[in-house]
Amino acid sequence: MSAQTIALVTGANKGIGYEIAAGLGALGWRVGVGARDRQRRDTAVEKLRAAGIDAFGVPLDVTDDASVSAAAALIADQAGGLDVLVNNAAITGGMPQTPTTVDPATVRAAVETNVIGVLRVTNAMLPMLRASAAPRIVNMSSSVGSLTLQTTPGSETGPISAAYSASKTFLNAVTVQYAKELSDTNILINSGCPGFTATDLNGFRGVRTPQQGAAIAIHLATLPDDGPTGGFFDDAGTVPW
């Protein structure tokens, strides 16, 4: 591993993912911009480089085994390793998602990207992360995945969502299981909530900017060695499960 910190951000061609890449790059890190769409990926990399960030494109479809394997090989070849993984790529699946009417295929697609995709990418990158001096994994979740908030009267957790919200609950549970398995390593893994951020994921209805939404990921990606693991956080602190 070089002295320069290497990070991979999935879904980094736009929105919160792009701002996470920009924020980590501003620290002097080398950042892999993971994205499926070649044109958007190339455009994001060019924009980041124009801002003085050491960015490189990583073709990556988190739902495809071969794509993820190829991405890991590319990072090993171009960067020599990996220190930080930010699992940001996600889909909503489209609304409405009331459980009595939702198409099971919608739920399946959300879980495939938002949960299984995280497992697929994380496991592919783990050999490099294990070799890092200070490895960090950040899973971008959402407060809509909080069962506590979902069942608290008056708490604003958005529309009824049997696919997206449930997938984020699932992701939080997976994060905890990773933390338990990796407890004897120096890998810190946490879930982060960006808040209600204006992105195309929600039709730009959010009240926070993508840069604000990226702040929690940057915080969790730069935790000290004695930082928390297996937690769920936003800018204000701990988010209830």
Strand partners, 6: 30
57 in the Ramachandran plot: left (φ > 0), alpha (ψ -120 to 50) or beta? Answer: beta
Which residue from 189, 42, 73 is spatially nearest to 122, judged by alpha carbons?
189
Which residue from 150, 146, 143, 241 is spatially nearest to 196, judged by alpha carbons?
143
> What's the CA gap between 171 and 114, in Å, rounded?
7
178 a catalytic residue: no
C-alpha dist (Å) from residue 80 to 1, 7, 73, 104, 119: 6, 11, 10, 41, 22
Task: Considering the candidates 18, 29, 164, 170, report the single residue annotated as catalytic.
Answer: 164
Catalytic residues: 164
